[in-house]
Structure 1
Amino acid sequence: MDHDTPGTSGTPSDTELTAPHEGESHEDGLKTRLNWLRAAVLGANDGVVSTAGLVVGVAGATDSRSTLLTAGLAGLLAGSLSMAAGEYVSVNTQRDSEQAALAQEREELATTPQAELDELTGLLHKLGITADLAREVAEQLTARDALGAHARVELGIDPDELAKPWHAAWASFISFTAGALLPLLAIVLPPHDWRLSITVVSVLVALAGCGWVSARLGGAPARPAIMRNALGGAIAMAVTYAVGVLLGAAGV
């Protein structure tokens, strides 16, 4: 009589249980990396739009290359530093909240372990697991890593992937700077007659690219994201250019 071999019939092997389906990625930290990539794309998008609006507005008031360079550099530094500082404060606050929640959960596990086991059982039961199986799973998870189990199921926090403020700050600074360099170089390097047209075209292409990437990362249709991004940048440049022309004409 033939005997079943592991992974061919009957109970699946551990490898089969954990192996990802074709086309899927179950790598540790994948969600975190995607979030960082989205943040980088959004930071670059902000750098493109804000700096493009600034230099195009100044170009509407003056033809001076040195003035455009000064204004663009000032906007680039102010924007990138502001983005970095804001991201650092925001993510630091998030990390403090995560650490406080983990500390409270750690104390509750130490002082009322049975109540915490009952709570984990109830949460698993709410996910659709039968009561008896939920109890068994809760006991196994608690025996293996009680804090990690409660953090993931109850709090939605991965103790091994807490928010990193300095990483967020540097990512925002670099991505904003990279995005801001495009309109800055496009407005100061070409000859006078080509400055505005080259800047507008390059900015719209860059914004379309940012929209496409952000849509792909989020699994959303690309065309609406591209149109929204490009339209927003076009409106920003049109408004600031009009204001620059008016101020230049008024001699301000």
Structure 2
Amino acid sequence: MSHTEIHRSHRVGWLRAAVLGANDGIVSTASLIIGVAAANTSHEGVLLAGVAGLVAGAMSMAAGEYVSVSSQSDTENADLALEKKSLEKDFEFEKNELAIIYEERGVEPLLAQQVAEQLMEHDALGAHARDEIGITEHGNAQPVKAAFSSAGTFTIGAALPLVVAWLVPVNLLIPLVAVSSLVFLTLLGGIAARAGGASIIMGAIRVTFWGALAMALTAGVGRIFGVVA
């Protein structure tokens, strides 16, 4: 009888960037639209603010992800360069170091030495990167991919409340944008949880709660400034 397990941890990198981008797009743009509309701004002004928020947010997400993940990549590359130099300097020491790591994980000393020797014969740097430093094939930093993923999903997320604001009459703009955005957030939370193998209900509730809070706060601020104006 065959037994197949489906693991999802390799999705963490792109899933985090995609969910963060889409969630940010929906929440920030919907909140901006609602806040501006609550200040008694014209329909055209609301749409202009929404488009500006979409463009600025997408570029901010791309730049932020690229800088952040580039820093991670620089650190990983520095660690790999250091490890490569150590392997060239004292191969036997590095082999014993790897064996000790396996022993601490519960492998018998003699077997740990054999495993370390065979792995290092196959790919010494790869073995140390994975088991000593913690850098894996699926987890290594990819700045450009993260930047495009975040910017793209932000744009898609931001476009949803913006389209609703464009289609609905101005007197219904705030409630319809709010309700539709909460629906979008619920779907996003559920889909992200499903892709990551987590609870769909908890994922949906978590995302929707913070989105509702953000929209409520910005609506309140917009209302205050609208009254003052």
| Aligned residue pair count | 229
Report Cα offsets for 1:184-228 as digits up to 9, x if no partner.
111122122332222111101111112212323443323233223
Residues 159, 245 of structure 1: alpha-carbon distance in 2 compared, 3 angstrom cutoff: closer
Counterpart-to-counterpart distance in 1, 2:213 and 2:9: 33
* Alignment partner, residue 38 of structure 1: 16
Residue 126 of structure 1 aligns with an amino acid whose one-letter code is E
Residue 59 of structure 2 aligns with an amino acid whose one-letter code is L
Counterpart-to-counterpart distance in 2, 1:229 and 1:34: 17
Q: 1:154 aligns with which of 132, 143, 162?
A: 132
Listed as ranges, the gaps of 5+ residues in structure 1 are 1-19
Residue 154 of structure 1 aligns with an amino acid whose one-letter code is E
* Alignment partner, residue 203 of structure 2: 225
Higher relative contact order (CA 8 A, sep 6+): 2
* Alignment partner, residue 54 of structure 1: 32
Report Cα offsets for 1:143-195 as digits up to 9, x if no partner.
11111111111011136863111111111110111111111111122122332
* Alignment partner, residue 5 of structure 1: none
Q: Does 1:170 align with 2:148?
A: yes
Listed as ranges, the gaps of 5+ residues in structure 2 are none
1:172-191 alignment to 2 at 5 Å? 172-191=150-169
Q: 1:92 aligns with which of 56, 70, 78?
A: 70
Contact 1:34 1:217 in 2 (8 A): no
Contact 1:41 1:213 in 2 (8 A): no
Contact 2:11 2:196 in 1 (8 A): no
1:1-252 alignment to 2 at 5 Å? 21-22=3-4, 24-25=5-6, 31-158=9-136, 162-251=140-229
Counterpart-to-counterpart distance in 1, 2:135 and 2:172: 52
- Structure with max Cα Rg: 1
Counterpart-to-counterpart distance in 2, 1:141 and 1:158: 15
Residues 161, 35 of structure 1: alpha-carbon distance in 2 compared, 3 angstrom cutoff: closer
* Alignment partner, residue 13 of structure 1: none
Contact 2:10 2:138 in 1 (8 A): no
Contact 1:38 1:217 in 2 (8 A): no
**For 2:98, what is the secondary structure of its paired residue?**
helix
Counterpart-to-counterpart distance in 2, 1:143 and 1:162: 23
**For 1:66, what is the secondary structure of its paired residue?**
helix
Counterpart-to-counterpart distance in 2, 1:38 and 1:212: 14
Shift, 1:65, TM fit: 1.7
Residue 107 of structure 1 aligns with an amino acid whose one-letter code is K
Residue 94 of structure 1 aligns with an amino acid whose one-letter code is Q
Q: Relative to structure 2, which stretch is displaced further, 155-164 or 236-245?
A: 155-164
Residue 65 of structure 1 aligns with an amino acid whose one-letter code is H
**For 2:141, what is the secondary structure of its paired residue?**
coil
Contact 2:22 2:157 in 1 (8 A): yes
Shift, 1:231, TM fit: 2.0
State the TM-score, normalized to the length of structure 1: 0.84
Residues 160, 241 of structure 1: alpha-carbon distance in 2 compared, 3 angstrom cutoff: closer
Q: Percent identity?
A: 48
* Alignment partner, residue 11 of structure 1: none
